[in-house]
Structure 1
Amino acid sequence: MSEQDCEADFTKAVEIVMTLADSDKVIGHAANGRGEGHSSAYAEAKAQAELHRARRLELMNLKAEGKLVDRAEATEIGVRIFAEIRTAFLALGRRVADKAAGQTAREVTRIIDSEVRDVLTTLADEARFIRALDDEALS
């Protein structure tokens, strides 16, 4: 048998094997670094899926540890806080009106300053804020 005949026989043998080979096994071997399948896309997809699973687990752990909050819930709480601030400041006029009647400009200024400080102190009370957050979480 000549060298050309051997090469022809080898080429023919490779063609026969490729047509008869189980493509799933060839791809599996290629994904594991064995064989000659063209499965780099498969290996990349598998690696990407593993990254997504790891990220999802990381997020679940952060949420369980209380280090991650839901964006919609945080936004809702923020909106509620600003509505409370707005309401408190809009009520200042009624709160000050009776106290300021008949007072001098200087006394009216002092009354307004005092009322504004009271409103801001109440709104800045950290314990009150935490209680409101806890109440929200439990409801």
Structure 2
Amino acid sequence: MAERSIMAYFHSSSEADRAVRKLEALRATGVSVSKFGVVPGNGVGETINPLTSDFPGLPYLTLGSESTNQDARVLMAASPEASGLAAGGDYNFYRTDPSDNSLKDTLLTASVDESVYEQAVRVIQDAGGSL
């Protein structure tokens, strides 16, 4: 039978992980969960003292971005996440509307058999995801 691909968006990795286990029970293949955002980089991996260290700018300190482009650094510094006033990750306190897709920064991808596609979509939606 034919396979269908699924791309679903979640508020957090823990929501997506709940769906992964159930999708694997449906024999889904190529299941992966990844975070995405507008800022490249993996976050801050070291403690930096801004008074005594040489660093390229605010996005490096708060977002872990190592962009060498001055224009990109200025735009990243204007982001609410760079200010430290916006909580990130699974503890994001301003995520009160589950239908607000603008706050979904976790992507789940999978391939399922066409015969269980509708069931897989229900699993994703029950876990808080949207297609």
Tell me the TM-score normalised to structure 2 length.
0.21
Greater helix share, 1 or 2? 1
Point out which structure has higher relative CO (alpha carbons under 8 A, 6+ apart).
2
Greater strand share, 1 or 2? 2
